[in-house]
Structure 1
Amino acid sequence: MRLNECLNHASVPTLQRIAKSLHVACVPYSKLDILQSILEAWLDPDARKTMVHRWCADWDAAMRRIVLLPRHAFAREEMASLLAPYGDGAVDRALEAGWLYVHPDPATKFPLIVPEDVCQACHAHYVANWRSKVAMRSDDPPCVLDEEDAILADLETLVAYVRDHDVRLTTTGALYKRNLEQVMQLFKIEESLELPRWRFGYGKRTFAYPDRLALVYDFACDEGLLIEHDGRVEVDDARWHAWKSRLTVVKLRRLLRHYVISYRGPIPRLPDVLRLILRLGDDWLHLDSLYDLCLPFLNPFYYDSMSDVWRTRIVKMLVHLGIARLGSDAPECPPEWFQTTELGQELLSRGDEESTADLIERRPALVVQPNFELVVVSPDPRLEETLAPFVERIPSDGVRAYRVLAHTVAQGVRAGHDFDAWRACVARHALYGIPQNVDRMLVRWAEAARLELEAHDVEPGESWA
């Protein structure tokens, strides 16, 4: 809906408050005069510029996100979450400010609207501001790193390797190091297999594999191309043949979608970063100034600083996906320039159109690792209080981690805590579910603890030492 339609459906008291907020002179008791006066002010370029500047200044953080979204209608809970930093009654104040309106259909799923022309004007204001803050260059840097669609070739290499070899999994659900080394030697893009102690949050198997391989392997499993069964990895030939028949752009779009889903847990504003990059077009952009521009949408994540998140989790992965390429002024110099590829522009645009991303903050979450460690991704005292009866805390700096073992499960069962409810809670909050080996052992340990209580004829919660 456009502004004139929203104003036409607004009540007289609402129009009066909007006119007062915008300092529009009018006859306050005539709906027609108020409406016409507001529209005349909006159609005046100078007055419209003043309105847009004021809205973008007063509601900056919220307006930045709104203009990046592909839709302009919101549920009340979404808008309340978006405007939460502005204090109590922020939604009502926004309705009086003249940029937010109530949908005329009370039965609609998204009852709050930002008019299309208002959103377009604010969008143009921000894009001009963003482009003025980013250093650009018109020529190509001397050295350019562009992986194009190498990730698809390496996905095919991984599937071919699994088909031609007897690939088995360790007890933690990872490939053996010998297999990893052989796969990495066949890949077009190699990665170091040396991993830090703490690895979690960026996909189901990031604990065991380097970043790019973890993304490829997770994607192959989620697409059903690879199947893990009884400690082995096998290829689903029917799904693989169907996958190979798809167009390259479709394959990369699905990989991009998988990347956003996998990384959005630790980087909640990742879709906003991608939309902002899309708005800047395909010019060569200076990495540091682009980083400064994206800072409002970035956050540290445990062992990753904001700079690590930017360079390793976003820039590097976009290059792997063929979305972007990097440039430097000499072979020995680190990358200084960033450019979205022509294919990257298409993929990001299509993803923007298809996006239905919500604005509601994510629920408290944790990562359950195959080595029986639970890492709390979104710290929440209530969640950790729920975890406590069946786990023990792992001493560590900066990471809220726990371990669940046979004796901790038995301890919780003996104390009378509901193990089944605990297990369901863990599954509900686990970003990537409970690994099969962990879930299988949890059930076995709980059953053993119950049998032990029965053997001693003791009710849960009673002392039986």
Structure 2
Amino acid sequence: MNLAEMLTFADIEVLTKIADHYKCVCNTNSKHELIQTILGKMGRREYFEELLDELGTEDLRFLNTLLFDGRKQFSLEELLACASQAKWSADDQDVKTQIRPRDLVTRFRQKGWLFTGRSTNERFLFELPEDLKMGFRTGLEQRMLMDLKRVQAPAAYREEPIQASEDLFLLIDYIHRHEIVLNAEGAMYRRYQTQIMDKLHVSEPLLGRSGWRFGYGRKFKDYPSRLAFLYDYATYRRWIEERGGILAVTSAGQTVLAEERREPLIQLIRFWLRLYKGPIPNLLSLVYWIDRGSKGWVSANSLFVAMERFINPYYYDTPESIFQERILKMMLHLGMIRIGEDEQEGMIVRMTAAGRAAVEVICQARQEPDFRK
């Protein structure tokens, strides 16, 4: 429902609190007058721009989470969980006072952004009006695009339009052709990894002996990021399996090889969004903002500056390393972006047509309104 409909169904006490928040001057005993006055305040073209300028970091994070969550309705517990994601660290320099998740929810209700209703099982659920969602997305996009540094197309750039699908096939084929013995930790010995890298279109340095690696998939601790991702995907599809200390191809994997089947990139992208969602809960929204900001060539650093407040550090992974290594680099591997170099701005990026189409399809599949309208 849109804001006007939700105001109509709200009781007069809720309307009075919203009117008080916006300092509306009206007859608080008249529901009709309250609704008209509130709509007059919240329906102005400048409303979203003014409010976004006033919002603190935690409010913006909470709002961003709600805008890209596939659910249309939330229980109080679900809202509190979303609000908790907005509170990252006690030394967050942008937040002078730490705000409780419940206070964030209360504040959004007072602003007229969250309304309660009942579900079929009589539970109270909260909903954000659809027209407010669209207005906030548009407002956030305008704020983000404002300071991006646009650049000319580079003389050369890197792109991997189909290599992930091809290398997934080559990985399965290599495992099928070799008897791969796993070490005590259940990982391939380095000699196997080296041979695999020699066969793949995109090679990566093997892992060293030190450093932390966890959170980004089951095999992230054992292999370089891209190889770990392809391995985890093949395991997820049950094309390969570890049995008795040996890595082998399953009957389903043999069918893939016999049919010379290449996995559609959209399936790999969906899996990546799920696999990395643990350490990066709002990954879909970050990919969406990259999509909106890089229709043309743009400085990667200016993109990061615009999005930094939405990127939660993850243990030793800083917001910048998450943006560069876990998001941009994986989007390159999945054929979603091109990466080039500019003499003044350094790394520059641009979404590919396939990447933009994938973002649109995935967002629509989450039963969200069409983001591109």
Residue 131 (structure 2) pairs with residue 117 (structure 1): yes
1:9 maps to 9
Whether contact under 8 Å (1:322, 1:343) holds in the other structure is yes
- How many residue pairs match? The answer is 353
Where structure 1 has 5 or more consecutive residues not aligned to the other structure, the ranges are 358-465
Trace 1:244-323 onto structure 2 (pairs within 5 A).
251-323=264-336
- 1:57–1:72 CA distance, 2 compared to 1 (3 A): farther
- 1:69–1:264 CA distance, 2 compared to 1 (3 A): closer
Whether contact under 8 Å (1:136, 1:284) holds in the other structure is yes
Residue 34 (structure 2) pairs with residue 34 (structure 1): yes
Secondary structure in 2 matching 1:308: helix
Offset at 1:11?
Answer: 0.4
Offset at 1:6?
Answer: 0.2
Trace 1:403-418 onto structure 2 (pairs within 5 A).
none
Secondary structure in 2 matching 1:59: helix
Matched letter for residue 267 of structure 2: R
Offset at 1:41?
Answer: 3.7
Paired with 1:122 and 1:213, the residues of 2 have a C-alpha distance of 38
Whether contact under 8 Å (1:68, 1:275) holds in the other structure is no
Structure scoring higher RCO (CA < 8 A, sep ≥ 6) equals: 2
Residue 74 (structure 2) pairs with residue 63 (structure 1): no
Paired with 2:256 and 2:203, the residues of 1 have a C-alpha distance of 27
2:226 maps to 212
Q: Kindly report the root-mean-square deviation, in angstroms, between the aligned alpha carbons of the 2 structures.
A: 3.0
Secondary structure in 2 matching 1:27: coil
Offset at 1:189?
Answer: 0.8
Offset at 1:268?
Answer: 3.2
Paired with 1:299 and 1:15, the residues of 2 have a C-alpha distance of 35
Residue 188 (structure 2) pairs with residue 163 (structure 1): no
Whether contact under 8 Å (1:72, 1:115) holds in the other structure is no
Whether contact under 8 Å (1:55, 1:99) holds in the other structure is no
- 1:50–1:286 CA distance, 2 compared to 1 (3 A): closer
1:136 paired residue among 150, 154, 160 = 150
Offset at 1:263?
Answer: 2.4
Offset at 1:197?
Answer: 1.6
Moved more, 271-280 or 320-329: 271-280
Paired with 2:9 and 2:255, the residues of 1 have a C-alpha distance of 54
Matched letter for residue 234 of structure 1: A
Whether contact under 8 Å (1:162, 1:235) holds in the other structure is yes
Offset at 1:264?
Answer: 2.7
Matched letter for residue 8 of structure 2: N
Trace 1:74-85 onto structure 2 (pairs within 5 A).
74-83=74-83
Trace 1:43-58 onto structure 2 (pairs within 5 A).
43-46=43-46, 50=50
Offset at 1:153?
Answer: 0.8
2:360 paired residue among 349, 369, 376 = 349
Structure showing greater radius of gyration is: 1
1:454 maps to none
Where structure 2 has 5 or more consecutive residues not aligned to the other structure, the ranges are 88-98, 369-373
State the TM-score, normalizing by the size of structure 2: 0.84
- 1:26–1:141 CA distance, 2 compared to 1 (3 A): same
Paired with 1:246 and 1:30, the residues of 2 have a C-alpha distance of 70
1:178-197 deviation digits (Å, cap 9, x = unpaired):
22221111111111124242
Whether contact under 8 Å (2:148, 2:293) holds in the other structure is no
- 1:290–1:110 CA distance, 2 compared to 1 (3 A): farther
Offset at 1:96?
Answer: 2.1
- 1:110–1:256 CA distance, 2 compared to 1 (3 A): farther
Secondary structure in 2 matching 1:179: helix
- 1:299–1:356 CA distance, 2 compared to 1 (3 A): farther
Trace 1:317-396 onto structure 2 (pairs within 5 A).
317-329=330-342, 336-355=347-366
Offset at 1:50?
Answer: 4.7
Secondary structure in 2 matching 1:28: coil
- 1:246–1:260 CA distance, 2 compared to 1 (3 A): farther
Offset at 1:152?
Answer: 0.9
1:18-62 deviation digits (Å, cap 9, x = unpaired):
122122222211112212222344444356755665568893332
Paired with 2:18 and 2:148, the residues of 1 have a C-alpha distance of 35
- 1:48–1:157 CA distance, 2 compared to 1 (3 A): closer
Paired with 1:176 and 1:353, the residues of 2 have a C-alpha distance of 42
Offset at 1:67?
Answer: 2.9
Residue 105 (structure 2) pairs with residue 91 (structure 1): yes
Whether contact under 8 Å (1:73, 1:110) holds in the other structure is no
1:158-209 deviation digits (Å, cap 9, x = unpaired):
1111222222222221122222221111111111124242333322122221
Moved more, 76-85 or 41-50: 41-50
1:51-104 deviation digits (Å, cap 9, x = unpaired):
665568893332233334455432211222344553354433322222221125
State the TM-score, normalizing by the size of structure 1: 0.68
Trace 1:227-246 onto structure 2 (pairs within 5 A).
227-239=241-253, 241=255
Paired with 1:136 and 1:244, the residues of 2 have a C-alpha distance of 46
Residue 182 (structure 2) pairs with residue 179 (structure 1): no
Paired with 1:108 and 1:323, the residues of 2 have a C-alpha distance of 43
Offset at 1:335?
Answer: 5.4
Q: Percent identity?
A: 26
Whether contact under 8 Å (1:6, 1:103) holds in the other structure is no
1:445 maps to none
Secondary structure in 2 matching 1:325: strand
Offset at 1:303?
Answer: 4.0
- 1:55–1:22 CA distance, 2 compared to 1 (3 A): farther
Whether contact under 8 Å (1:76, 1:112) holds in the other structure is yes
Offset at 1:343?
Answer: 0.7
Secondary structure in 1 matching 2:191: helix
- 1:111–1:232 CA distance, 2 compared to 1 (3 A): same
Matched letter for residue 22 of structure 1: Y
